[in-house]
């Protein structure tokens, strides 16, 4: 018999950024973070895992290409998952010994890899949940998120939908560093995200390298993790629970700027945003000023692409502006009224 399981894991985009590790092997962060998980129909990884006694070795296929499974991060995840399965098998002798068999894993993204679109987050989240499902592990999602964290820090947040916190924890072994859900997407269903792909070229400085340089060289970073983030974490969590978009948006934009400021304060400096990214930032502020209320928030990860958060009711107000800026909005171009377009001339 071949046992199989498939799952999808969506991309999550941090609104309070994880940047800095206190343990690089276990991916233990220097601060807690918050993110919004995109919907299953948008940017996601689909992973299938299979196991059978006759499989000869562990194999991994990513986007149609064979991929090495011998990297430390993947191995750490597989070891932990097999260990949990082994514990189940040792308590119940009637269970098939899946923990001893090799795994065949096939994974596919529906978006460009390594363009700063958090593909490692969805990738490791899907890998770990597919195997957890295959092994029928009884652990909670938060417990499984600790394993995904070892694959890629931000991956632990993609195990939950909606609004998610990754609590940094204090323990050296990382047992208290895991994701918890702040609110379900259905608790604040009006929230929407839009990705402006400025460039789909692979980023120069990976987040893993970048954050270590920041930890080692930036003075500003110390201020960020000691004072700025702990306060912001509480304010943002409350804004999500209370569905206070203006506060959520302000904290999201300020945190993106704070994170990119620590990148500039690293030595040598790291630049993830380009001129187009910066133009998008000023446009968002112009849009909010134009309407006299906060209707859009921007955030940038370790790359030039923008993610905008806005409420569904403001979509046409926002897209009319984007239309004017970029000359098109796929699927939307015919929906603007003449008055809306006129307003931005
Ligand atoms: C800027 O999770 O990719 O997107 O733990 O080394 O795999 P590793 O880093 P990764 O870093 C993500 C950084 C970020 C912010 C965030 O998602 O919180």
Residues at CB less than 6 angstroms from ligand 1: 14, 17-19, 27, 33, 118, 120-121, 152-154, 207-208, 301-302
Dist. CA 13–CA 37, nearest whole Å: 6
User: pLDDT (tens digit, 9 = 90+) per residue, 295-308?
Assistant: 999 999 999 999 99
| 86 Cα to the center of ligand 1, angstroms | 30
Count Cβ neighbours within 10 Å for each residue of 310-335 and write b for 16 or more, e otherwise: bbeebbebbbbbbbbeeeebeeeeee
pTM: 0.94
pLDDT tops 90 at residue 117: no
User: pLDDT (tens digit, 9 = 90+) per residue, 199-258?
Assistant: 877 667 899 999 999 999 999 999 999 999 999 999 999 999 999 999 999 999 999 999
Dist. CA 162–CA 39, nearest whole Å: 8
Q: Work out the angle at residue 135's Cα, subtended by the Cα atoms of residues 131 and 139, and round it to the nearest 5 degrees.
A: 90
| 256 Cα to the center of ligand 1, angstroms | 13
- The atom of ligand 1 lying closest to the CA of 16 is 18
**What is the residue-averaged pLDDT of the chain?**
92
Is ipTM over 0.95?
A: yes
| 121 Cα to the center of ligand 1, angstroms | 8
* Strand, helix or coil for residue 162: strand
Average pLDDT (19-31) is 98
Average pLDDT (113-134) is 84
**Among protein residues, the one whose CA lies closest to atom 5 of ligand 1:** 153
| 280 Cα to the center of ligand 1, angstroms | 22
């Amino acid at each position: 018999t071949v046992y199989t399981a498939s799952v999808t894991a969506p991309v999550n985009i941090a609104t309070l950024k994880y940047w800095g590790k206190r343990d690089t092997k276990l991916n233990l962060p220097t601060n807690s973070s918050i993110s919004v998980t995109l919907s299953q129909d948008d940017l996601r990884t689909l992973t299938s895992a299979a196991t059978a006694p006759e499989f000869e070795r562990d194999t991994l296929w990513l986007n149609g290409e064979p991929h090495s499974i011998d990297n430390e991060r993947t191995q750490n995840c597989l070891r932990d998952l097999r260990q949990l399965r082994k514990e189940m098998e040792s308590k119940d002798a009637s269970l098939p010994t899946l923990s001893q068999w090799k795994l065949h894993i096939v994974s596919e993204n529906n978006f460009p890899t390594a363009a700063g679109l958090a593909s490692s987050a969805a990738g490791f989240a899907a890998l770990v949940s597919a195997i957890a499902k295959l092994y029928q592990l009884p652990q909670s999602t938060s417990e499984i998120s600790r394993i995904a964290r070892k694959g890629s820090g931000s991956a632990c947040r993609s195990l939950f939908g909606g609004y998610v916190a990754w609590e940094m924890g204090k323990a050296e072994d990382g047992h208290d560093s895991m994701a918890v859900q702040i609110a379900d997407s259905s608790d604040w269903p009006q929230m929407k995200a839009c990705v402006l792909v400025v460039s789909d070229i692979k980023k120069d400085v990976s987040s893993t390298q970048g954050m270590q340089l920041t930890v080692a060289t930036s003075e500003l970073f110390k201020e960020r993790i000691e004072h700025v983030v702990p306060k912001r974490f509480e304010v943002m969590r409350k804004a999500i629970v209370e569905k206070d978009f203006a506060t959520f948006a302000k904290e999201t934009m300020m945190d993106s700027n704070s994170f990119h400021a620590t990148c500039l304060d690293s030595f040598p400096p790291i630049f993830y945003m380009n001129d187009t990214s910066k133009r998008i930032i000023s446009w968002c502020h112009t849009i909010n000023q134009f309407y006299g209320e906060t209707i859009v928030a921007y955030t940038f990860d370790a790359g030039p692409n923008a993610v905008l958060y806005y409420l569904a009711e403001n979509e046409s107000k926002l897209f009319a502006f984007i239309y004017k800026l970029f000359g098109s909005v796929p699927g939307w171009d015919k929906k603007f009224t003449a008055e809306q377009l006129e307003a931005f001339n």
